[in-house]
Amino acid sequence: MMVRSFVSSVVNNPIATDVREFLASCRTLIDAELDRLIPKESESPQRVHSAIRWSVFAGGKRFRPALLIAVGQTFGAPPDHLLRTACALELIHTYSLIHDDLPSMDDDDLRRGRATCHVKFDEATAILAGDALQALAFQTIAEDEKLAPDLRVKLISEVARASGVPEGMVAGQALDLEAESRTVDGDELETIHHRKTGALIRAAARCGAMIPNANEDELEAITAYATNLGLLFQITDDLLDVTATVEDLGKTPGKDARAQKATFPALYGIEATRAQLKSVHTAARSALERIEGETQLLQSIADFILQRQV
Amino acid sequence: MMVRSFVSSVVNNPIATDVREFLASCRTLIDAELDRLIPKESESPQRVHSAIRWSVFAGGKRFRPALLIAVGQTFGAPPDHLLRTACALELIHTYSLIHDDLPSMDDDDLRRGRATCHVKFDEATAILAGDALQALAFQTIAEDEKLAPDLRVKLISEVARASGVPEGMVAGQALDLEAESRTVDGDELETIHHRKTGALIRAAARCGAMIPNANEDELEAITAYATNLGLLFQITDDLLDVTATVEDLGKTPGKDARAQKATFPALYGIEATRAQLKSVHTAARSALERIEGETQLLQSIADFILQRQV
């Protein structure tokens, strides 16, 4: 019943221009659906289920699901056709955060203002929680009976390629780790981000377009939009790591610099990075001009990310 | 060309009764297909691709793929309809071995006679290699154009449930880790194995039956057969850990006992465990009696596993 009313509020407001309101309503919708999809903490094996819920319900902004829903709405998809795939993207994103935070990877103790999964539980449980989340993501799309089976297999292929190797998120994380010990140039840094964070953001947008069967030109425009949006997202993240406090960020700032990580500010300096931010934002908005019909919501999302820099 | 000749050798010998010959020809077929599916070591990011290939081509017996192919053949599926899903099962199995061997999990240095993935490479690379293999498994089924899309989504759902929580392989590994610090009884031990190793073996057999569209009764009989086969497999594994040498095993024997792991021999003693082995083997063969038509190959596989005890 609660879900139904959220779905209908989105249906009745198909082009929400207030992006904060849109993001908040997506978040409520996604959180309720994730709660249904994930086993309860009371169910055995309890420790791994608790760990999964600790990380999935850690106050994430649900940006990837919201992007998928925004693109889907833009091309006229009913919201209940978008919900499960949107959740699948969030499950993949959460598994990647859990694994990236592990001691042998980025070794982070704090995420969104609280203990990371392996700190709150233990390393083995964190690895298993991530593994289970990945399986659940693909299960969720495979079992989405609102969508035709031939669409479901296309979505699974899209999400799997965006998650794995050689072009997806795992490849990006591997490149990022390889790059820690040496100097990378701007092109390499873009390649890393294109895969590490860009691939999943692109997949979210592309799935949003595939569900309402957008045509090839529209899919291409959305891909260009999302590629720039991903870069915008990463560059603001890099800037926040330099300029924000632990309180602003909910995680330890300055880590990138201490780890001698390749970042845009480290490579170009803060001012040039801010200029790059604007040009990427312009590119994202230009891509939308190739789409017929109303794209105000997608424009507002690009503006919103630009403004999140502190 | 090489593949075609193997496929046709299986086609021309649809009920191979010599199980060793059958397993060897499956292995060649599967290894060739896995080689096509997995990015080359020369492709970037090289380190993670090398790690994936190190673990996938480590001399595994390809038991799960062979079981899938054997069941599929029994119900008349063309071998080229079985190959990709069979590979997907092996990709999932390999990812689980890589993650289970990690220091925070079972902490194994040796597997199939050589260094485990995190020892040969490093922990971060091993975690990423496992993560990429899981994505590739689902991608492989999703993109298998030999199969109708509605069959592909059923197979993905089956494999995802068998891999994850609350009933799959990850749940089994979590229960196993939880059980390390306390005494478990026989029922708990069966629950652990039912999920940890049983779920994927069952999924392999069930996918093999689903591809040629076996009916409900047949699927139920195959599920019973595979449940007992999984138990047979696990009990022989437990026995080998007690009785074999490092040379026989290609990994460190006696680890279970030292880790005070719950095993069948630890719980019941070696003689009672051998008796249990025989009763599980009988149950596997009895399940096959409910299937009309020739089940000689499946019977031989059960016999073969029984005999692998040293």
Question: Which residue do the tokens 């197979």 mark?
Answer: B155
B6 falls in which pLDDT band (50, 70, 90)? very low
Q: Smallest CA–CA separation between B165 and chain A, in Å?
A: 6
Q: With CB atoms and an 8 Å threshold, state whether B102 touches A127.
A: yes
- Per-residue confidence (pLDDT) for residue A202, from 0 to 100: 98
The β-bridge partners of A114 are: A111
pLDDT mean across residues, chain A: 90
- Per-residue confidence (pLDDT) for residue B15, from 0 to 100: 41
CB interface of B with A, residues 242-281, below 8 Å: none
Q: Is B250's pLDDT higher than 80?
A: no
A263 falls in which pLDDT band (50, 70, 90)? confident
Q: Which residues of A touch B173 (CB under 8 A)?
A: 128
Q: With CB atoms and an 8 Å threshold, state whether A142 touches B153.
A: yes
Lowest mean pLDDT among A8-22, A142-156, A263-277, A278-292: A8-22
Q: How much is the average pLDDT of B252-281?
A: 83
Q: How much is the average pLDDT of B220-245?
A: 91
- B34 or B257, greater pLDDT: B34
- Per-residue confidence (pLDDT) for residue A247, from 0 to 100: 58
Note the pTM of the prediction, 2 decimals: 0.93
Nearest to B83 by CA among B131, B28, B134: B28
Lowest mean pLDDT among A239-243, A273-277, A300-304: A239-243
- Gap between the Cα atoms of A137 and A142, Å rounded: 9
Count of residues for chain A?
A: 310
Q: Is B118's pLDDT higher than 90?
A: yes
- In angstroms and rounded to an integer, the radius of gyration of the C-alpha atoms of chain A is 19
- ipTM higher than 0.95? no
Apex B64 CA angle, B59 and B70, nearest 5: 115
Q: Is B36's pLDDT higher than 80?
A: yes
What percent of chain A stands above pLDDT 90? 80
Q: With CB atoms and an 8 Å threshold, state whether B174 touches A47.
A: yes
Q: Is B301's pLDDT higher than 70?
A: yes
Residue A164: which of B139, B160, B171 has the nearest Cβ? B139
Among B48, B94, B159, B161, the strongest candidate for a mutation testing the A interface, having the largest count of A CBs within 10 A, is B48
pLDDT tens per residue across span B137-180 = 999 999 999 999 999 999 999 999 999 999 999 999 999 998 88
Burial group, residue A31, by CB count within 10 angstroms (0-12, 13-18, 19+): middle
Q: Is B5's pLDDT higher than 50?
A: no
DSSP-assigned letters across all residues of chain A: -HHHHHHHHHHTSSS---HHHHHHHHHHHHHHHHHHHSPPTTSSSHHHHHHHHHHHTS----HHHHHHHHHHHHTT--HHHHHHHHHHHHHHHHHHHHHHTSTTTT--SEETTEE-HHHHS-HHHHHHHHHHHHHHHHHHHHT-TTS-HHHHHHHHHHHHHHHSTTTSHHHHHHHHHHHTTS---HHHHHHHHHHHTHHHHHHHHHHHHHTTT--HHHHHHHHHHHHHHHHHHHHHHHHHHHH--HHHHSS-TTHHHHTT---HHHHH-HHHHHHHHHHHHHHHHHHHTTS-S--HHHHHHHHHHHHT--
- Gap between the Cα atoms of B240 and A139, Å rounded: 35
Q: With CB atoms and an 8 Å threshold, state whether B139 touches A132.
A: no
Which 3-state string (H, E, C) describes B127-176? HHHHHHHHHHHHHHHHCCCCCCHHHHHHHHHHHHHHHCCCCCHHHHHHHH
Q: How much is the average pLDDT of B255-280?
A: 85
Q: How much is the average pLDDT of A268-288?
A: 95
Q: How much is the average pLDDT of B83-102?
A: 98
What percent of chain B stands above pLDDT 90? 79
Q: Is B182's pLDDT higher than 50?
A: yes
Chain A contact for B16 (CB, 8 A cutoff):
no
Chain A contact for B122 (CB, 8 A cutoff):
yes
- Per-residue confidence (pLDDT) for residue B8, from 0 to 100: 44
pLDDT mean across residues, chain B: 90
Q: Is B4's pLDDT higher than 70?
A: no
Q: How much is the average pLDDT of B108-115?
A: 92
Chain B contact for A48 (CB, 8 A cutoff):
yes
Q: How much is the average pLDDT of A183-199?
A: 93
